Structure 1
Amino acid sequence: MSPFPQQALASSRQIVSLLFGPPSRRSFHVRYWDGSQEGPAGSTPATVTLTSPASLRRMLWPPSDLALGEAFIFGDFDVEGSLEHVLAQAVQIGDQLLRPAVAARVVAALLSLPDTKRPTPNLNFDDTSKTHSKERDAHAIRYHYDIGNDFYKLWLDERMVYSCAYFKTEHDTLEQAQTTKLDRICKKLRLQPGERLLDIGCGWGGLAIYAAQHYGVTVTGITLSPSQAEVARERAEAAGVGDKVKIEIRDYRDLSASTRYDKVASIGMFEHVGRAKMPKYFAQIYKLLRPGGLLLNHGIVKEIAPNFIHWGFGTVERYLNAHSFLQNYVFPDGELRRLSEVNLRAEQAGFEIRDAENMREHYALTLRQWVMRLEDHHAEILARGLADEVTYRIWRLYMAGSAQSFTAGRIGVVQTLLAKPLPSGEVNLPLGRADIEA
């Protein structure tokens, strides 16, 4: 039975205080469904609005980022201002719930709130084939990337580069930072006119076109997304490099080793490979590279995880993975591994590690630019039918949460330069990195 409105309000205020301290010490305001508000004096980066007496129960019970994420995308709470700031404060929830006395009081208060159920969400990704099979990988990629090219155009840079930019200063525009990133990739690969470059997971063709224009290479770009391939081909023709850039809808496992490449770039694709397929991934690229060739492997990796993640011989970690907002709504089957594990698999395939650069601060800056642009186009997205409100909220939450995770060091994004040595052991690289930094 639902409690009286004043009881629900009192329980909700108690929960917020237990988790975040008294109003005067919080860094955000809280507005309740009756219009009342509490928080510190003066302005704050954000205001959290609880839209009903059931809000906190839906947000926090049972505890998982899936529950919190669904509560946001279905409107149980809203955030005015910086969603990233609110998510940074939400880390306190886990810390407080690890204290038994606090956890008991929070749970008792949560269970006193109305237990109203929302309709079961339709996640659309219902592929039952084997995880990381070619068919299921293609479905997972299209689930994420085929939302619509016009949707992505509103908040990506003019080249539609959907991976971490590289900021020379925090004042760089997104366009400047993405151009710097593309040029940095080409320099790390030491691209030379006439070389053959394979771009695995080429997206909308930003790197392929840039490399052909500025470094004189011929590029084969592969993607599993038909909508990406269509735009990449159109853009290559418009840029005057249609004869140098070939875009194919193809799985990397289907590439024939009869064609050898001088250089390979895999940018923002590795997260979709999966732990079980990692050895085959590196072995396949090793076959595709000529002796002396280079691979730039760019992907998100795990970094610092809270100690409680490993409790119960991995039981907590398995529970959280099964109740992951990102897995259910954003990146089906996506897997993040530690850099040490990734590099071990690369070495086992025969690669030599030549350079590694963690760019997590750059990804936080990139994501903040994307979120700002997405929020600026909120009304247009809905008016043009590019996405509904739930989809918009999914993307706002996913990108703001990712920015906070990169800032906090829970995840990183690393560019690793790998070489396939010549039989003599040579890799024909300069002694230093001056050419990259020039």
Structure 2
Amino acid sequence: MGSFSQIVVVGASLAGLRAAQTLREEGYTGELSLVGAEPHLPYNRPPLSKSVLTGDDDVALPGADDVDVHWRGGRRAVRLDTGGRTVALDDGTSLSYDGLVIATGVRPRRLPEEQMTLRGVHVLRTIDDATTLRRALATDPGRVVIIGGGFIGGEVASTVRHLGHQVTVVDAGAVPMDDTIGERAGRWLAVHHGKNGVELISGVRVVEVTGKDGRVSGVRLSDGRTVPADLVVAGMGVVPNTDWLNGSGVHVDDGVVTSAELFADGVSDVVAAGDVARWPHGLFGGELVRVEHWANANEQGAVAARNLLRGPGQAEPFDAVPALGTRVHGTRIQWAGLPRLADESSIVTGTPEDDKFSVAFTRDGVLVGAVAVNFPKEMIRLRKAIAAREQLAVTI
């Protein structure tokens, strides 16, 4: 720790804040800069698709307003020079470092610009996105089309339907969230959306968002249909914010590729954490994974900071079981591990018909993932089993 006097954290969401807080908690007393692309202090993102849309602006993260840092809000990193150990910002300034935390997160996939500029077309990633969407919903748009039935799309559909609007979700998959919660739970979720008044159109792609007089009017699908729309929310997934690392020598491949201890490949003074980090996970045979979960960012930011201070020789691998939960139309859905890695799956408790069940996912007989609907105690059990690499006989 004595070798560090200037540490820069690039990215001021949850992972970046946790890294900065942990550096101070571990006794680092040198210069500490926190660079955030948004002008706001670090805040909590999960409420953006839920309570913020209904009028609750409480997104505070504990300690965000009193962490001892040189705050660089409203500034983006545009270039990294690992040889000269500098981070260039978009205002022309440059920050020197002897330790760097990359926590730049992700950004939403966007429609072509001419479609994004239509009035009534929205994305949802920031607090400003959420308040803009809330104002649009307050004008009673009538027909809301959500592109993408994933995590964010499902939460927005649930919230907007609760507000009384007509909602259609268009999803390219056969069932919503099948890459996250698997086909069985995805089938249940499709039915659950329907029971709560959401029209789900599955297995088709959006070809174009159409407009009239500069305002959105519909969504044209790959099967030739056009769905009328007064408001569109594009929830088509995200991409890691790594453009600023081009030419830096940091290995980038669907995120910042790191060691198990979160050090950027071959660089002992740079670590990565949160949605942007892609690391070999010890519980899953060293499979490179990138996890877009709140809990992962929270835990990983702290571990990355501690490992940076300790150095590669004394660092600990990050092998926490990924886990997240959501509520869709009032129903609790949780998942843990990486169900997408499985070659077999089975319902192990409960039934989808009762809206209370759990699904186990295995690879070569070893538990790698779990999903629970309205079954938190079962999720606790299965998550512990994933951490213990238990074997479980399941059938597809």
The normalised TM-score by structure 1 is: 0.28
Whose helix fraction is larger, Structure 1's or Structure 2's? 1
Instruction: Decide which structure has the larger Cα Rg and report it.
Output: 1
The normalised TM-score by structure 2 is: 0.31
